[in-house]
Amino acid sequence: MRLVDLLLPARCVVCSAFGELVCEQCAEGLPRLRAPLCARCGAPTAWPVARCRECAGRRLAFASARAAVAYDDHVRTLVAAWKEQGLRALARFAAASVVELVERPDAEALVPVPSDRDRTLVRGHHAAEALARELGRSWGMPLAPLLHRARPVPRQRGLALAERRRNVRGAFVTGERPPPRVVLVDDVYTTGSTVAAAASALRRAGARRVDAVTFARTIRAR
């Protein structure tokens, strides 16, 4: 055991029990996303469908989106600790959850959704990039940080769906030609607006297929 573990023993970020950053009970209790799912956006469905009510009628640049867990209150607490409290080791936990529950996409590279520069400086790390790096180790796939922010983007939190789409429209660019098939990686899929805008940039740059993978996903009321 390390000295730091004796002086500052880890607490579960969900229930505060001593031991691990995510205790076994809380890890087992996370709301895993399993089939049937919408083939396009990955939303839970009553039966397999090509498009669900959430994504039908939307022009989405990604071919599919998949997540490991639903973004409930416990997962929200976990993600906040990971992103805002600097608990970088949670990237390994998030990646292990994705590897367990999401089939490895047939692609040549993992592309993290880029963070706002000021937020990265404040946090000292970038969750999506850390998740992509861990997934790359597990899936044997290289990390390709091809995307950049074309402009500062106000926070998406609290915005309506239409406002979210406008907020990120044209927000991402890439100066390099991506491989034909790439996996776009982010921490949370909320409405799909961010990953759709990032996927659009990759498609414009030459990618033929973009699949999106996130640790968590918001489940909208049916």
Domain ranges of the chain: 1-30, 32-217
- State the Cα–Cα distance between residues 184 and 152, nearest whole angstrom: 20
State the Cα–Cα distance between residues 215 and 79, nearest whole angstrom: 9
What's this model's pTM, rounded to 2 decimal places?
0.88
pLDDT, tens only, 89-114: 999 999 999 999 999 999 999 999 99
What is the C-alpha R_g of the chain? 17
CA 130 to chain centre: 11
**pLDDT tens, position by position, 195-205:** 999 999 999 99
Say which CATH topology domain 32-217 has.
Rossmann fold (3.40.50)
> What is the rounded (10 degree) CA torsion for 42, 44, 46, 50?
-10
The predicted-structure confidence for 45-61, as pLDDT tens digits, reads as follows 999 999 999 999 888 99
| Residue 186 and residue 212 in contact, taking contact as beta carbons nearer than 8 Å | yes
Three-state SS at 13: coil
pLDDT in the model for residue 4: 38
- Integer Cα distance of 117 and 143 in angstroms: 19
Select the more confidently predicted residue: 5 or 76.
76
What pLDDT is attached to residue 172? 87
pLDDT of residue 152: 64
**Angle at alpha carbon of residue 13, lines to 11 and 17, rounded to 5°:** 40
Q: How confident is the model at residue 6 (pLDDT cuts 50, 70, 90)?
A: very low
- Beta bridge partner(s), residue 214: 67, 186
Q: Report DSSP state, residue 179.
A: P
For residue 7, the model assigns a pLDDT of: 38
By percentage, how much of the chain surpasses pLDDT 70? 82
Supply the mean pLDDT for the chain: 88
